A and B are shown apart, each in its own frame.
Chain A
C-alpha cells in the first residue's frame, strides 16, 4: 500500500512539474519540445533492457528484445533529430548577436 501511495504521489507531483516547466516553452520551440520529450518518453527502454536480459521465458525475452529495439529507435532518433533542429535555431541566434 505504501509503495503504491508513494508512486502515485511521485506521479502527481511530476505532472505538476511538467506543467510548470513546459508552459514556459515558447511556440517557436514547440516542435523540438515534442521530439525531445518524445525521446525521453523512450525511458521505457530501461524496463525493456531488464526484460530482454532476464530471460525468464522465451516469449518475454523476445518481447524484451523487440522493446529494446523500438525504444532505442525512439530514444536515439528523438535526441538526434532534436539536436539537428535546435542547431538550426542556435545558429541563427549567434548570427543575430554578431550582426547587431
Chain B
C-alpha cells in the first residue's frame, strides 16, 4: 500500500518536472515553471523519507542540511558573469552523486545480510541492475570530472595544457579498460571492487575529453556534460528500478542533447570535430598583415558620439568581451541614453556568444534590458541592412564575414551575425588580436568599420559621457 502511494508521488513529481520545463518556454511563465520543478523535487524527497528501508535518519538529515547550506550559499553569491562555471560545478556534483548511489546500491545488494533485491529479482532484473550500475558509474564519472575540468578552465584555475600526444589513442585505451572491467563486473557482481575499476578510467577519460577544449567551444561542452549528468541519473534509475529517476534523467539528457546540437549547428561543426579536432589556423599569421595593413581605422569616444547622434536604429552585438569586462550595465546606460533621444536600440545574440548557451541573454537581463529587445540570430540578421550603426562589443569570430565569403577559412559556413551589412560598424575591442579560432577578421579592416580600442566597460562609459557632453552643447 505504502509502495503504491510512494509511486504515485513519484509520478506526480515527474509530471511537475515536465510542466516545470514547459514553463521555461516563455520568460513570463518561467519563474512558475522553476517553482513547479522545485515542488516536484520536494515531494519526491519527502515521500522517499517514508521508505521502510531507511532505519536511521541522522546521516540523511545531516547530508540534506549540509548540502542545502552549501547549495544556497553558492547560488546566492555567484555573480551572473560566473554563471557558466557555476552550472558546470553543479552539473558535476549531480554526476558524482549518481556514481556514489550506483556504487552504494551495488554494495548493498552484495552484502548478503541485506539481499533486498536478490530475493525477488529474476535473472534479467539482476543483469539490468548490473549493466545499469556500470553505465551509471561510467557516465557519471565522465560527467563529474569533465565538469570539474570545465569549471577549472572557466574559473581561470586551469590553463590550456600543451597538446597531449596520442590523445585519441589514450582515450580509446581508457574506454576499452572501462568496458572490460564493466563486462567483468556484470559477470561477477560480487567483486564490488571492479566498480571502482570502471570509475577510474572513466574519470581519466572525463578529464582528457575536456582538458583540450577551451574558450569558444565551451558552450558545446557544458551542454554535453549537462546531458551526461541526466543520463547518469537515468542509469541510476535502472539500477534502483525507480521510474522517477528514469524519467527525469531522460528529460535532462534530451535537454542537454538538444542544446549541444544547437551549439554545434551555430558553429557549423560536428560534435566529433568540437571534441577531438582542434582547428589550427595555419597561415593566419601571414594573412594578418595583408588584411589589416593600413586599413584599420581607429576612433575615439567623441567621434563615436557624433556618429550615434545621427543614428535612427542601432544594433548592439555583445560577445564574451562584454562578460569579461562586466560591461552589461554600461551597455544598458548607452542603450537608455540613445533611446531617450529617439534612437531604436536592439540586441543581436549569436547562439555561441559567451561561454554557455544563453550567457549573453542572462547578462543583459541582469542589466534590466527588456528581453523582447534581445533578438536571436535568425531574427536580427535580415534587419542589419536597416541599421545605421552596429556596435560590436567584445565579439570577434561570430561577426567574421569570412565565414560567408572565404570557403578556405576554418570558420567557413558558420552562421554569423551580418553586422557588415549595417551602414556603419563600430567595434569596441581591446586590440586586433584574433578570436578563439585564431582567424583574422576582415570586418575590422572594412571601409565602414571604426575600431574603438578600449576595455568594453571603460570604452562604453567614455562613450556615454561623450554623448551626454555633446547633448548639452
Residues on A lying within 8 angstroms of B by beta carbon are: 1, 3-4, 7, 10-12, 14-19, 21-57, 59-61, 63-93, 95-96
Measured CB to CB, the closest approach of chain B to A19, in angstroms, equals 5
Measured CB to CB, the closest approach of chain A to B429, in angstroms, equals 24
With A43-B249, A70-B67: A49-B30 Cβ-Cβ less than 8 Å: no
User: B250 near A: Cβ within 8 Å?
Assistant: yes
Expressed in whole angstroms, the Cα–Cα distance for A27 and B262 within the complex equals 10
Contacts of B66 on A, CB cut-off 8 Å? 69, 72
Check A91–B357 contact: CB distance below 8 A: no
Contacts of A49 on B, CB cut-off 8 Å? 45, 48-49, 51, 54, 60, 63-64
Check A96–B59 contact: CB distance below 8 A: no
Check A67–B253 contact: CB distance below 8 A: no
Task: Report the nearest A residue to B356, measured CB to CB.
Answer: A31
With A48-B63, A74-B97: A43-B245 Cβ-Cβ less than 8 Å: yes
Expressed in whole angstroms, the Cα–Cα distance for A56 and B104 within the complex equals 9
Measured CB to CB, the closest approach of chain B to A24, in angstroms, equals 4
Expressed in whole angstroms, the Cα–Cα distance for A21 and B21 within the complex equals 7
Contacts of B237 on A, CB cut-off 8 Å? 7, 11
Check A73–B59 contact: CB distance below 8 A: no
- Chain A binding surface SS class: helix
Contacts of A26 on B, CB cut-off 8 Å? 25-26, 376
Contacts of A1 on B, CB cut-off 8 Å? 122, 124
Expressed in whole angstroms, the Cα–Cα distance for A53 and B75 within the complex equals 27
Measured CB to CB, the closest approach of chain A to B122, in angstroms, equals 7
Question: Which A-B residue pairs are the 3 nearest by beta carbons?
Answer: A72-B67, A18-B254, A68-B63
With A28-B358, A49-B49, A64-B101: A80-B96 Cβ-Cβ less than 8 Å: no
Check A50–B51 contact: CB distance below 8 A: yes
Task: Report the nearest A residue to B38, measured CB to CB.
Answer: A79
What range describes how many residues of B lie at the interface?
35 or more
Expressed in whole angstroms, the Cα–Cα distance for A72 and B52 within the complex equals 21
User: Which parts of B229-250 form the interface with A (CB within 8 Å)?
Assistant: 229-230, 232-234, 236-250
With A22-B258, A49-B48, A68-B59: A34-B223 Cβ-Cβ less than 8 Å: yes
Check A37–B87 contact: CB distance below 8 A: no
The number of inter-chain residue pairs (CB within 8 angstroms) is 407
Q: For A70, give its contact among B100, B226, B243, B254 (CB under 8 Å).
A: B100
Expressed in whole angstroms, the Cα–Cα distance for A86 and B247 within the complex equals 25
Contacts of B372 on A, CB cut-off 8 Å? 96
Contacts of B268 on A, CB cut-off 8 Å? none
Measured CB to CB, the closest approach of chain A to B347, in angstroms, equals 10
Q: For B358, give its contact among A18, A29, A71, A73 (CB under 8 Å).
A: A29
Q: For B105, give its contact among A3, A24, A47 (CB under 8 Å).
A: A47
Expressed in whole angstroms, the Cα–Cα distance for A88 and B243 within the complex equals 34
A-B contacts, 21 listed (Cβ < 8 Å): A10-B250, A18-B250, A18-B255, A27-B358, A28-B361, A31-B359, A33-B21, A34-B87, A35-B86, A37-B251, A40-B248, A43-B44, A43-B233, A43-B245, A53-B54, A53-B59, A66-B100, A70-B93, A79-B41, A83-B34, A93-B27
Check A82–B108 contact: CB distance below 8 A: no
Stretch from B362-370, B444-452, B457-465 forming part of the interface with A: B362-370
Contacts of B442 on A, CB cut-off 8 Å? none
Q: For A63, give its contact among B24, B103, B349 (CB under 8 Å).
A: B103
Task: Report the nearest B residue to A41, measured CB to CB.
Answer: B252
With A74-B90, A92-B370, A95-B368: A3-B63 Cβ-Cβ less than 8 Å: no
Q: For A41, give its contact among B51, B80, B248 (CB under 8 Å).
A: B248
Check A4–B128 contact: CB distance below 8 A: yes
Check B30–A90 contact: CB distance below 8 A: yes
Measured CB to CB, the closest approach of chain B to A38, in angstroms, equals 5
Contacts of B97 on A, CB cut-off 8 Å? 42, 44-45, 48, 67-68, 70-71, 74
8 new A-B contacts at CB < 8 Å, known A36-B33, A52-B59, A88-B362: A17-B18, A18-B21, A36-B34, A51-B101, A55-B55, A68-B60, A68-B64, A86-B31
